[in-house]
């Protein structure tokens, strides 16, 4: 359990690190074409490393992820990056809903409290949001897509090997964003953007999604989602170190609330594991 928790925390750190990196790299580059290049690299490397995989499950994940990225990209052109970041992070709140209907995974009262604390933390770290526009609504749709992607990864990784979900998924996302680039007729790109795309393709895409598929099924959807609450905290911390961006006192409180929600979920998971182990030992001793 600890290995799974640390692995997903590492994934969260990688995702958080991409925010300041891509903010620098995307200056003068097309966001949609950048995503297309990133996932092209990921698709080629995953095919060479793991083969063509399971196209049925991988393609479903790719459609969901591609639609989510498309909605996020369109939304970002119509709203602020702060609002986009906060609303996107709300996928964590939608995960328990999909987990219940798809995986029959019922959140415990402890998890519900953790989600509420985490949601408040996300709101505070975003610096609050005011007003609602079309870009915000598109980003909400993006958050729903990311939540569905999280739950489907758990479901499909129980049926096929984690590696089989990679290539088809990345290929579909590539096609989505190439079509979007054609629609916008925007092909701006540069060397810095390519370097960022290469890094994110290897670490934030192939490695991160492989670890996500491998260990989400160990922790469950709801606990995994609570671990992912750390993403904006890592993003904010690294943005301070790399870009010099600072956090207000309210945003600092929000960061602590996010960390508290992760800690609460981890403690509950540890309690469940200890209880299960103790029950197993009692049954074993009773049998003797």
Digit-by-digit pLDDT tens for the chain (288 residues) are 779 989 999 998 998 888 777 777 777 888 889 999 999 999 999 999 999 999 999 999 999 999 998 887 777 667 666 566 667 777 877 888 899 899 888 877 777 887 788 778 777 766 665 656 787 788 789 889 999 999 999 999 999 999 999 999 999 999 999 998 898 888 989 999 899 999 999 999 999 999 999 999 988 888 888 788 777 777 777 777 877 766 678 777 877 787 777 666 656 655 554 554 555 555 545 555
Domains in the chain, number: 1
Kindly state the tokens that stand for 40.
């092209």
Residue 284 lies in a domain: no
Angle between helical axes of 208-219 and 2-25 (0-180°, round to 10): 140
Alpha carbon distances (Å) from 252 to 37, 128, 233, 247, 262: 35, 13, 9, 6, 16
Residue 288 lies in a domain: no
pTM of the model: 0.80
Residue 285 lies in a domain: no
Residues constituting the chain:
288
Residue 286 lies in a domain: no
Residue 190 lies in a domain: yes
Cβ-based neighbour number of residue 127 at 10 Å: 16
Residue 134 lies in a domain: yes
- The parent domain of residue 85 ranges over 2-279
**Percentage of residues of the chain with pLDDT beyond 70:** 82
Residue 121 lies in a domain: yes
Residue 111 lies in a domain: yes
């Amino acid at each position: 359990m600890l290995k799974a928790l640390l692995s997903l925390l590492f994934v969260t750190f990688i995702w958080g690190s991409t925010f300041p990196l891509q903010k620098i790299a995307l200056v003068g580059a097309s966001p949609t074409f950048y995503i297309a290049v990133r996932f092209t690299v990921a698709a080629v490397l995953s095919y060479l490393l793991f083969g063509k995989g399971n196209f049925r499950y991988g393609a479903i994940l790719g459609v969901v992820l591609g639609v989510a990225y498309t909605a996020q990209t369109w939304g970002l052109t119509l709203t602020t990056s702060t609002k986009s970041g906060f609303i996107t992070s709300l996928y964590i709140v939608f995960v328990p809903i999909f987990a219940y209907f798809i995986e029959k995974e019922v959140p415990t009262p402890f998890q519900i409290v953790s989600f509420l604390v985490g949601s408040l933390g996300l709101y505070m770290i975003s610096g609050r949001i005011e007003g609602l526009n079309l870009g915000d609504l598109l980003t909400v749709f993006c958050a729903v897509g990311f939540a569905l992607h999280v739950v489907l990864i758990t479901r499909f990784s129980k049926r096929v090997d984690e590696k089989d979900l990679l290539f088809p998924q990345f290929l579909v996302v590539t096609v989505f964003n190439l079509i979007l680039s054609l629609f916008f007729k925007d092909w701006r790109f540069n060397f810095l953007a390519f370097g960022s795309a290469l890094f994110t393709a290897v670490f934030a895409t192939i490695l991160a999604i492989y670890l996500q598929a491998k260990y989400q099924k160990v922790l469950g959807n709801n606990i995994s989602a609570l671990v992912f609450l750390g993403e904006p905290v890592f993003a904010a911390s690294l943005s301070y170190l790399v870009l010099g961006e600072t956090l207000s006192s309210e945003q600092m409180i929000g960061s602590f609330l996010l960390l508290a929600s992760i800690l609460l979920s981890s403690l509950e998971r540890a309690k469940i594991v200890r209880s299960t182990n103790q029950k197993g030992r009692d049954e074993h001793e009773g049998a003797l």
